[in-house]
Amino acid sequence: MLIYNSQMHRKQELKTIEPGKVRMYVCGPTVYDQIHIGNARTFLCFDVIRRYLTYKGYEVTFAQNLTDVDDKIINRANEQGRTAAEVAEEYSQAFIEQMHRFGILDPDIRPRATREIAAMQEMIQGLIDQGYAYAVPSGDVYFSVRSDTSYGVLSGRNVDELMSGARVEENDQKRDPLDFALWKAAKPGEPSWPSPWGNGRPGWHTECVAMIHRYLGVPIDIHGGGADLIFPHHENETAQCMCNWHTALANCWMHTGMLTIDGEKMSKSLGNFYTLKEVLDKYPADALRLLMLQTHYRSPLDFSFERLDGTVGTLERLKTTVKNLRWAAKNAPEDGELNDPDRALTKAVKEATAEFTAQMDDDFNTAGGLAAIFSLVTTANTYLTEAGEDISMAATLRAADALEELAGVLGIDLSEKDSSGLPHELVDLAKEKAGYAGDDPEEAAQALIDARQEARKAKDWGTADAIRDGITALGLVLEDTAAGARLRKKD
Ligand code: AMP
Ligand code: ZN
């Protein structure tokens, strides 16, 4: 398998440190707000990379942090008159919930910065002891960039170039404008922890390195994030690892291209963003997945709702093909001799599977992988129209299974169970009206039906009507059938 290593600027054969095992880490979000679909693109790409490595037979250990202490969190808490811990907890949960909706697998290890203070302090002390970091009277601790002769290896910058762009801030006690904070002295009202350098909190660049060392061991096989993290975040991470443990942090660095709007990077600060939540409230998660995976992970991806609208139709076409194949198989006669068209379909299944793997083996070319899936869809649809009565159950089932399996590697679910068509807003409604705590529209529908039934039994017509009104407002009807009540979309 070839993977593009950003540090080497070329594709390299994947050689894992331990045979058959991949240890990977992807920098997680700062939890101060809902994430936007640009962030989501990066997390999606690594979800698919992880799924594909698993499909290839690797045992993958995947870690991702939550940055739950940071200036942005503290500012948000101050604006809202809440504690930073409350803000971080709310948005950690919100992040995990949206990741689930988007079909992103949970990491095996999800460390949080505030729970890793001891590991970070130990690393910082190690850097101070070896002369790579220093504490200043204010209680800050800085990493001394010039003490690290290999600084700049990852991002390909040299220290003198960086110097010319560096800003010298007033009241700075840094010895060199390039130095970055490993530990920040506490300011009044901020969360802080005791340390050998006085009360304070960790700098952002410190947490991932300490966590990787603690949970995965260094070096790891793959370290990832968006391309905007290469400098300074990843450069600073690798510098700390190199200086403290005298080994590289990662053998392979993978970086995703930016999601843009009208050619401009989507970001909170520019205000040109859509949250993942608002998009998933309106569109099927797999349509957004499909749209994003049609572009190679390293290329920029310009987002628009017109494109997403188009992808909804593409996803439907994929699902309908699988449904039709299964339906045809159910109604097929006993298989007799295989005809030419049956053999052609079986051959197309083999070819699509081989092509999918070849594309994905080449630096996770999801666009090429999807093209292989679409080509099988075309062959399967032609087969269904042309084979008439005389179809082969085995060939059709094999095609349906292959489509589901290959799309499944990309995290796209083509099986019929996902076709309830119930909107995700039902979950919010069920939370409010039925005390539901999960994240599944079908379960939420059942919880609402049960809650309404209870209310009617108790002659609480107000509650029963409020539930029905909420359901109607979502464009759904509540049907009482012989088998019990159910929700369905209004025709
Ligand atoms: P942050 O919470 O800002 O640290 O971002 C979390 C992740 O999202 C990081 O890996 C960023 O590189 C990534 N990211 C931020 N903006 C974008 C974007 N517009 N497109 C793709 N990835 C992004
Ligand atoms: Zn990081």
Spatial neighbors of 446 by CB under 8 A, at least 6 apart, are none
Q: What is the pLDDT of residue 77?
A: 97
Out of 151-155, 419-423, 438-442, which region has the weakest mean confidence (pLDDT)? 419-423
* Tens-digit pLDDT profile for residues 327-354: 899 888 877 788 888 999 999 999 999 9
State the sign of the Cα–Cα–Cα–Cα dihedral 30, 256, 59, 407.
Answer: positive
Question: How far does the centroid of ligand 2 lie from the alpha carbon of residue 37, in Å?
Answer: 19
Mean pLDDT across the stretch 46-73? Answer: 98
Tell me the best of 228, 229, 270, 273 to mutate to test the pocket of ligand 1, counting ligand atoms within 8 Å of each CB and taking the most. Answer: 228
Tell me the best of 42, 155, 303 to mutate to test the pocket of ligand 1, counting ligand atoms within 8 Å of each CB and taking the most. Answer: 42
| Ligand 1 neighbour 392 (Cβ under 6 A) | no
* Tens-digit pLDDT profile for residues 251-297: 999 999 999 999 999 999 999 999 999 999 999 999 999 999 999 99
Q: Which ligand is nearest to the CA of 42?
A: 1
| Ligand 1 neighbour 258 (Cβ under 6 A) | yes
* Tens-digit pLDDT profile for residues 199-213: 999 999 999 999 999
Kindly give the pairing relationship between strand 301-302 and strand 476-481. unpaired
- How far from chain centre, in Å, is Cα 140? 33
Residues with CB under 5 A from ligand 2 (ion): 27, 208
| Ligand 1 neighbour 267 (Cβ under 6 A) | yes
Reading phi first (left if > 0) and then psi (alpha if -120 to 50, else beta), residue 186 is in beta
Whether 468 shows a pLDDT value over 70: the answer reads yes
Among 64-68, 154-158, 454-458, the range with the most confident prediction by mean pLDDT is: 64-68
User: Quick one: tokens of 206?
Assistant: 């410190």
Ligand 1 atom at minimal distance to the Cα of residue 259: 20
Question: How far does the centroid of ligand 2 lie from the alpha carbon of residue 40, in Å?
Answer: 16
Ligand 1 atom at minimal distance to the Cα of residue 266: 19
Ligand 1 atom at minimal distance to the Cα of residue 273: 19
| Ligand 1 neighbour 225 (Cβ under 6 A) | yes
| Ligand 1 neighbour 255 (Cβ under 6 A) | no
| Ligand 1 neighbour 38 (Cβ under 6 A) | yes
pTM of the model: 0.86
Give whole-number Cα distances, 222 to 61, 136, 249, 255, in Å: 10, 35, 9, 10
Question: How far does the centroid of ligand 2 lie from the alpha carbon of residue 224, in Å?
Answer: 8
* Tens-digit pLDDT profile for residues 89-122: 999 999 999 999 999 999 999 999 999 999 999 9
Spatial neighbors of 408 by CB under 8 A, at least 6 apart, are 414
Find tokens 């129209």 and name the residue.
385
Out of 20-29, 72-81, 293-302, 482-491, which region has the weakest mean confidence (pLDDT)? 482-491
| Ligand 1 neighbour 467 (Cβ under 6 A) | no
Whether 371 shows a pLDDT value over 50: the answer reads yes
User: How does the average pLDDT of the chain come out, rounded?
Assistant: 94
Q: What is the pLDDT of residue 129?
A: 98
Whether 10 shows a pLDDT value over 90: the answer reads yes
Spatial neighbors of 392 by CB under 8 A, at least 6 apart, are 332, 335, 338, 339, 342, 345
For ligand 1, atom 11: residue with the closest CA: 226
Spatial neighbors of 89 by CB under 8 A, at least 6 apart, are 68
HEC letters along the chain: CEEEECCCCEEEECCCCCCCEEEEEECCCECCCCCEHHHHHHHHHHHHHHHHHHHCCCEEEEEECEECCCHHHHHHHHHHCCCHHHHHHHHHHHHHHHHHHCCCCCCCECCEHHHCHHHHHHHHHHHHHCCCEEECCCCCEEECHHHCCCCCCCCCCCHHHHHHHCCCCCCCCCCCCCCEEEEEECCCCCCCECCCCCCEEECHHHHHHHHHHHHCCCCEEEEEEEHHHHHHHHHHHHHHHHHHHCCCCEEEEEEECCEEECCEECCCCCCCCCEHHHHHHHCCHHHHHHHHHCCCCCCCEECCHHHHHHHHHHHHHHHHHHHHHHHHHHCCCCCCCCCHHHHHHHHHHHHHHHHHHHHHHECCCHHHHHHHHHHHHHHHHHHHHHHCCCCCHHHHHHHHHHHHHHHHHCCCCCCHHHCCCCCCHHHHHHHHHHCCCCCCHHHHHHHHHHHHHHHHHCCCHHHHHHHHHHHHHCCEEEEEECCEEEEEECC
Task: With beta carbons less than 8 A apart as the criterion, state whether 34 and 94 touch.
Answer: yes
Please tell me which residue, 423 or 461, carries the higher pLDDT value.
Answer: 461
Q: What is the pLDDT of residue 419?
A: 45
Q: What is the pLDDT of residue 418?
A: 44
Mean pLDDT across the stretch 231-253? Answer: 98
User: Quick one: tokens of 304?
Assistant: 């628009």
Q: What is the pLDDT of residue 170?
A: 62
Neighbours of 317 (CB within 10 A): 13
